[in-house]
A and B are shown apart, each in its own frame.
Chain A
Amino acid sequence: MKCRKCGERALISLRRHNAGFCKEHFNEFFVRQVEKAIKKYEMFDYSDKIMVCISGGKDSLVLWYLLHKMGFDTTGMYVNLGIGEYSEKSLEKVKAFSEKHGLKSIIVNLTQLGHPITLMEKRVKRTACAICGTTKRHYFNKVAHENNFDIVATGHNLDDEAARLLGNTMRWYPEYLGKMSPALSADSQIKKKVKPLIRLTELEVGAYAFMNGIYYIADECPKSVGATSMIYKNALNTLETEMPGTKHYFYSEFVKNVAHKFEREETEKKEMHICSICGIESFLEVCTFCKMLEKIK
């Protein structure tokens, strides 16, 4: 297979674009997709102070690397979850990456704060993934608010969001379908949340990391074994093999034609409060995170 742009040997085949690319032109393609997403969904501009949520995985490190390379003002924010060797390895990757590229970072360590995920899952009657999601969201909001960031950027890619959309549609969760946009507007305390990798698949993000020497933690979180998101991703990949472009079409057409209906429903139903314990904005008088913490005291 030849590169569509220069005719050299292609290193990646993108069937949904009916194209192959060499390293140089794949990198060009990749940056263009991120630029398109930022522009189309009016995510941010060069005046914004951006907090990039980092896990040590390929998506968040690629996003951080690229936004920095594009000249945006970025700071990485990493939550050490206290999940044994997995958390130690991911912390090492984040530290090595930020040192190599001279990037600013903020690290929150749940073990030092007295509530690692391994302890919380023993005391709270929810799955580890649900506890982890609530905890990370709490610290993302808190750190962004306290450090006056304008934007919270996450490394969610097209596969992540198409799988989430499929899951939320299969179960008809209107409250979650209302939060599927790649750019969620800010409330008074909660910062604008954006997903600049939304036009790129996991395969494309993985290829970009490989070609550009971005070393990430390849291990899966041990708590995510059997996660339903994997079932939805596998189903979508089967469809994608038969009908290239399905994931993009499924997600982007939902955002374009349907998502706004659920967003309206969401704002009509919910009123925001300030959590009486942590002081962070929440739909409840005491936020879900603080309720979980009360159970481990």
Chain B
Amino acid sequence: MVFVTMPDGSIKECQQKRIKEIILELGLNENAVLVAKGDELLTPDIYVANRDEIRIISVVSGG
């Protein structure tokens, strides 16, 4: 399993797969979020390993 911290702080679990597929599974848009592991950003083609912890950063601001 991969542990995903969402922008609101909640944690979701996903199967191991590419970042692009995780973004889709979470119902997000690839142009609206960054994905980080520790202090590095991950590109959509990266395959995350079992027990990896990644973080979704929303970049869209409104108002």
Contacts and interface: CB of A to CB of B under 8 A. Distances in A.
Contact of A227 (B34, B57, B59, B63): B63
A20 B43 contact: yes
A229 interface: yes
A207 B43 CA distance: 11
Interface residues of B, number: 22
Nearest to B45: A1
A210 B34 contact: yes
B10 interface: no
A221 B63 CA distance: 8
A230 B62 contact: yes
B61 A220 contact: yes
Main secondary structure of the interface of A (DSSP, over half): helix
Nearest to B44: A13
A192 interface: no
Contacts of A58: 59, 61
A190 to B, nearest CB: 23
A203 B34 contact: yes
A207 B62 contact: no
Q: Which of A13, A20, A59, A220 gathers most chain B CB within 10 Å?
A: A13
A1 B20 CA distance: 13
Given A12-B41, A13-B45, A20-B43, A207 B34 contact: yes
B36 interface: yes
Contacts of A281: none
Would you list the 3 A-B pairs with minimal beta carbon distance, nearest first? Answer: A224-B63, A206-B59, A227-B62
Interface of A: 1, 10-13, 20, 57-59, 129, 132, 159, 201-203, 205-207, 210-211, 218, 220-221, 223-224, 227, 229-230, 233-234, 237-238, 240-241
Given A202-B61, A203-B31, 9 more contacts: A11-B43, A13-B45, A205-B59, A211-B41, A220-B62, A234-B29, A234-B32, A238-B29, A240-B31
